[in-house]
Every structure is written in structure tokens, then in C-alpha cells.
Chain A
């Protein structure tokens, strides 16, 4: 009896934490939700400009989500702003890297931009590993890791107090498996976060943009890119950004011609 009481008190703390932390994570204001619904109905009616304005208001309210960015991208695409559409889609992808719809629309929108950039092929191991850590959003991985660690801990506790040998064994091994996979999931989530932090990318928002050999107006023009092209940011120096294209070409362009994802 005394033992049961002891077990209960950490659980109570856990519930307390769950109930205080989770609400902070998931609830936007009522107003934003209403604006979002209104925007969706404008979109359904084909009034894309109105929909776009409303989505932007939701964003201005300080809340966001993958779905919001995705819908913003769709509304921009329908109003003919390809560069903005791609920017929003890429932002949505960062929040939900496993969403098939986002990838499909990025592909379609990319096919309409004026620059065709062939991606340099990746090593198959790299692409597999990438597929693993981009298979869910970082937050999904976070929740999964918590579930795994808590379940593993619970089993470990069972192991401590069980008398029957079989139960003890089963509890111990499954606890080890669960805790190890919990750690793996935490690592994967961390990889995803650092991938998006280290791979800074941007969308070109001007046409045509001359990419120069050095951060100066007098430098030679290396190549010309157009609105909607995705570039990777290597370095930022005051007014100039050093960029690289997916096909490996490098150069400098002005900060104002690029919007970072």
C-alpha cells in the first residue's frame, strides 16, 4: 500500500507537466482560426486575392502552421505570384517535411519557373538518410521520443519491483529497446533541425538577376537567374549574398533580390 502511493506521486507530476505544457503548444487565438476558415472559403469560391489577404492576416497575427503556409502558397500560385508561392511552399516543407501535397505543388510550380536547374545527384546513402530524418516533422519526432522514453522508464520501474523472474527479464529487455529507440528518435529530430538550420535557402524575387563573381557591382556577371529559382545561401556579407545553385554554380547576388525561406 505504501509502495503504491510512492509510485503514484511521480505520475501526478507527469500529468501536471503534460497539462501545463501541451496547451502552450497547440492553441492559436480564436480570431486567427476564424480568419483561416474565412480564407479557405474565399479560396473555395475562387477569390484567390481575398483568400491570400486573409491568410496573410493570420500570419501577421503571429501564428503559423504547415497548412497555413501551404494554403498561402496555393493562393499565391493562383494569383500568379510564382516566386511567393514557392517561398511559402518551402516554408511549409520546413514545418512538415513529409507532406506529399507540398512536394507535388513544389514540383509543379518549379516546372513553371524560367530557370531549369538540374540537381546534382546525391549519394544513395545520403538520400536514404535524408528520407529517414525528413520522414516526419521535428515535433512528431519529439512526441514520439517522449512516448518511447516514458514507456521505457515505466518498464524499467516494473523491472525494479517485479518478483517473477520472467516478468523481470521481459521488462528489462523491452525497456532497453524502448530507451535506445527513444534516444535514436531524439537524434533524428536533432538532425532534421540542424539540416534546416545549416541548409539556408532562398527564393529569387527579381528578374533577371545577374550573379556576379565577387560581391561588387563591377564584378563580372557569371550567370543570370530569374524569379522563382531556389538557391542555397553560403554566406551573407552586408548587401551581398554568396549563393550556390543546386547544379553547383556559385556566385554573389544582392540581398534585396532574395527572400530567405
Chain B
């Protein structure tokens, strides 16, 4: 086992030069004579590309074979691709290069030249027979194209987008067909296709005349096409290979009597057909148009008119007609927002026949009304393009009124539960509406903030304050000046009155003496306390002096003296001499001067 692995490894390591060769079974061939061309590679290649076998017909191939040989520990892998070919015409033909990718390298074979001669005579055939056979084969090549035709036919070549077209592939034959094989179905790009299904199992033959010749005709395949876009759309060829039985020259009497034949392989292609597709007109296109083309009718049905909330309701819409009914998407039904809607169940009863796709499609909606009330199911509008009148048509169902009664409340739900409450559904979004009040229009670019008026108004406050401040200060100054003058003067005035009192004392004029002292004290207090003489009384004097923080003792002393003076004006005083009174008054004034603030 180990040895084998090692051997395999060494084989892989000694990767010799990979060769890619082409060989043919014979360089000289005759028309109709099969030969084999082989492309061999001694290694593993990928993406083999065969040459273009122009002038040859491929009978079979590519036949792929691969072999692994291990000789003395040397493992060789070889692959070959072979084709069985038949030359169609004589002359010198070339088989081009084939390509293959090996380890990122692209290898190619040398082209091979093949000399094709006219059909080689068979060894046992006589010269005459050879001659006739040659004629026959020649006839084959020329006549089969007339004996066997494949045609693609459309019932309309000028259609609207979405309009249905019937495409039939017809086989025209004058020869007997032994076998047939579909080589290539056309890829019908740009069309939505539906196969016509009701075709009989047995091929129905009928006779038709085409280009002056009578043919047996059969429909090979029928399809209904719906163009998906506008413009010229090409229907590519349909390719088939037939084995046709043709008459062969009789080689003996029996053959002459019963007729002789041989089977010939023959490939046919249909001629491409171009369909001109017009876009649907823009003019008059309804808003809800969803691409339906053909002819339709619509019908809606509601199974109940009255029900309880949370019960089910069936709303079905049946669309009947011919056209691209299978391509119609869900309908835009307008149901009340309080109805719970499920995706519709779509049931199709559609037949694809030679005269078009027709049938009906039913959309059944299961609805559950969640709240009681009277609801209306609005008419459902459906628009289609009518190909016969070339106009858009809008059809509508009827409206239905549904009465939803109060549903049963389940017993196990408590009375205060909010189980019946639902979130408010937001149906749509829109911008908020315009402002309709006073527009408050201003000049563009004008703003109150930063304008002259603004700064003026703003400054007016501080200016006002400054003015008021100045005004108050001035007032205060004036007032305080008066007081100060009076204050300063108070001592002098008092001194004058007291001097006067001394004079009166010398003249022994007692009453005048006391009056002078009284006036002196009153005048002094009036100036000091900044009060009019008329406003002076005991209370105001006490208040004024207390405000100015004069001691109670001094105030009492002052009041005693004042009382004494007042009394002495009317009655003689005994307890104090005049001189003592004078000294006392002087002392009081001096003390007040000292203490007053």
C-alpha cells in the first residue's frame, strides 16, 4: 500500500511534458463516408474547446474516454475526445485547432487538412450502380431541403406589450419520417411563454401547399407568448434532426418490386421571426393599472352581510377573461382598516389553448372584523388594456355593506382587562398643515434683535437708573447741606441766646432770663434735630434724640431743665438759682454736642 502511494507520488512528480494532438482515421475521405477525428491529451486538461467543424456533419461526439496506465511505476493519464464526422461537400477541408487548458496553460492542436472526394464507390457495386447512387445522394442533399421544412409562425407580428401571440412550429414534409429529435428549443428571451396544452397525443397531419408544392403539415409545438418589453423581439430558430427514409435504387428484383429505401439523417432549422412590440399608450393610463392586457370581467362576492366581531368573513374576487391573467399580481383591495386581512388564496382555472390563454382567477380573502360597527367594502377597481379597442378599460365590483355586531367576550377575561383595546393604527403619513393665523410679515432680513430700536430700548433702562441715581444723590446732597449748616449754626445760636440770658440775669429780669434759656435750648434742638420749632414737643424731642443715640440720662436732664424754664416763666423757682440753671443749660448743650451723631 505504502509502495503504491509512493509510486503514485513519484508518478505525479515526474510530470512529463503534456502533449495535445489531433488525429483522424483517414485523411482521404469521400462525402458521406464517416470518419473519426480524435483529440488526445496525455494528462488532465480542462475546458476542452472543439474546433468549428465547418463542412462536416457531426454524427456523434464528443465521445470522451480516459485511461490510466502504470508502467514500471510511471503512471500516465490520457484523455481523448473523439467525433464521428461526415464530410458534406467535396474539396480540401480543414479541421481547425482544438484548445484545452492544462495548468493555466492553453494548448492547441495543429489543424488537419482532409481531402474530400466524391462518394467512393463501394467495392461490390457495379459502375452503373455507383453512378446512380451518386445521383441519389446528390438528390438527397438538394431535395431534402425542399422535402422537409420547419417553419415558425406567429398569428400576429405587430402587438402591444403584454398582448398574447400564438407561436406555432410547423413541420412541412414530403418524405417519410422514421425518427425525430429536438436539438434545440429556442430561448424565447423577452417573452413570457405558455405551452398550449390541449394538443392531441397523435400528431394530426393535414395537407397544405407551400411555394407551389404540396406538403404534409403537422404542428410540432404551439406556444402562447406575451411580450415583456417593447421593441423588435427576435424568435430564434427551432432546431430538429430527422431521420428520413428516402428511396434508394433497387439492387435486385425483390427490391425493385417492393421498392428500396435508406434512412438519411437530416437537421432542420426554422427561420427566425421578428415580432414588433409596441409599448402600451401613456395617454389615458388609469392610476391603478398593473399591466393587464386582454379582455376581462370582474365579480366580487361576500359570504355574509352581518356578523359578530372576531368572526370570519370571506371576500372573493373572480377575474375572468383572456390575456395575461397569470401575470396579474394581487389586487389592490380597499378594506376598512379595522378588518384584519390575510393574504388571499389564489385559485386559477386557466386553459392554454390555441386561441389564447383564458380562464378565471379567484382571489379569496379571509377577513376578520375586530370591532363592531357598520362598514363598507369599497368597490374594487381593475384596469386593463383592451387590445381589440386599443383603449384602457376600468371595471369595478359592487360595494358591500357589512354590519359587525358586538363580538362575544370570552368568559375568562376579567371585566377590567384591556384585552379589547387595540393600538391606534397609523394609516398614512403626511406633512402637517399650513399655518393660517396672522402671518406676522416683516421686511426680509429685518430683525428686531440687533436693530437700533432694540439697543435704544435696552439702553433706556440703565440710562433711567443712572438718571435716577444722579437725581437722588443731588437731592440728598442739597438736603444734607441744609442740615449740616443748621447743625453747625446750632451751637452759635444757642450761645447767643445764653449770652442774652446772662444779660437778663445781670438786669435781674427773671422772666426774660428763663425765656432766653428756653428759646436757646429749643432753637438748638430744632436745628440739631432738623425739625421746625412748631413741630417740637416733648415726644418729638425724645424720639429725635434717641434716633441720634443720646443717653437717657441726658435726655431726662434736658427735659427737667426745659420744664423748669417753662415753669419759671410763670412762677418763681426756688430749688435752683438762675446762675445754676444757666450753667446747667450750657452743660446740656455741650454734652449733646459731644454725644450727638
Contact = CB atoms under 8 A, between A and B. Distances in A.
Contacts of A20: 453
Given A63-B441, A67-B435, A139-B448, A146 B464 contact: no
A150 B441 CA distance: 27
Most chain A CB atoms below 10 A, which of B430, B434, B464, B475 = B434
B457 interface: yes
Contact of B439 (A18, A21, A65, A74): A65
Interface residues of B, number: 38
Contacts of A3: 475
Given A6-B471, A67-B439, A160-B472, A21 B461 contact: no
Given A40-B436, A139-B447, A143-B448, A105 B454 contact: no
A28 B449 contact: no
Nearest to A85: B431
Interface of A is mostly: helix
A157 B464 contact: yes
B565 to A, nearest CB: 35
Interface stretch (A9-17, A120-128, A218-226, A243-251): A9-17
Contact of A156 (B446, B447, B458, B465): B465
Contact of B453 (A21, A40, A138, A152): A21
Contacts of A101: 432, 435
Contacts of A157: 464-465, 468
A77 B432 CA distance: 11
A14 B454 CA distance: 12
B458 A186 contact: yes
B460 interface: yes
Nearest to B472: A160
Contacts of B472: 160-161
A57 B443 CA distance: 14
Contact of A74 (B434, B457, B467, B469): B434
Contact of A108 (B429, B454, B469): B429
A14 B464 CA distance: 10
Contacts of B254: none
Contacts of A26: 440, 442
Given A101-B435, A108-B431, A139-B447, A21 B457 contact: yes
A101 B353 CA distance: 60
A63 B434 contact: no
Given A17-B456, A74-B431, A64 B444 contact: yes
B441 A189 contact: no
B433 to A, nearest CB: 7
B441 A146 contact: no
Contacts of B463: 10
Interface string A201-230: 000000000000000000000000000000
Contacts of B457: 14, 17-18, 21, 146, 150
B572 interface: no
Interface string A151-170: 01110110011000000000
Contacts of B440: 26, 65-67
B441 A58 contact: yes
Given A63-B444, A108-B431, A161-B472, A28 B458 contact: no
A62 to B, nearest CB: 6
B200 interface: no
Contacts of A65: 439-442
A140 B448 CA distance: 9
A181 B442 CA distance: 28
Contact of A161 (B447, B449, B454, B468): B468
A218 to B, nearest CB: 38
Interface in A35-86: 36, 40, 43, 58-59, 62-68, 70-71, 74-75, 77-78
A193 to B, nearest CB: 6
B462 interface: yes
Contacts of B468: 7, 10, 156-157, 160-161
Contacts of B444: 59, 62-64
Given A21-B453, A153-B465, A160-B468, A145 B436 contact: no
Closest A-B pairs by Cβ, 8 of them: A28-B441, A21-B453, A153-B461, A142-B449, A63-B441, A67-B435, A149-B461, A138-B449
Interface of B: 429-437, 439-444, 446-451, 453-454, 456-458, 460-465, 467-469, 471-472, 475
28 contacts: A10-B467, A17-B460, A25-B446, A25-B453, A36-B439, A63-B443, A63-B444, A64-B443, A65-B440, A67-B437, A70-B434, A71-B435, A74-B432, A74-B433, A74-B434, A105-B431, A109-B431, A138-B449, A139-B447, A139-B448, A139-B449, A142-B448, A142-B454, A150-B457, A153-B461, A157-B465, A161-B472, A193-B447
Interface of A: 3, 6-7, 10, 13-14, 17-18, 20-22, 24-26, 28, 32-33, 36, 40, 43, 58-59, 62-68, 70-71, 74-75, 77-78, 101, 104-105, 108-109, 138-139, 141-143, 145-146, 149-150, 152-154, 156-157, 160-161, 186, 189, 193
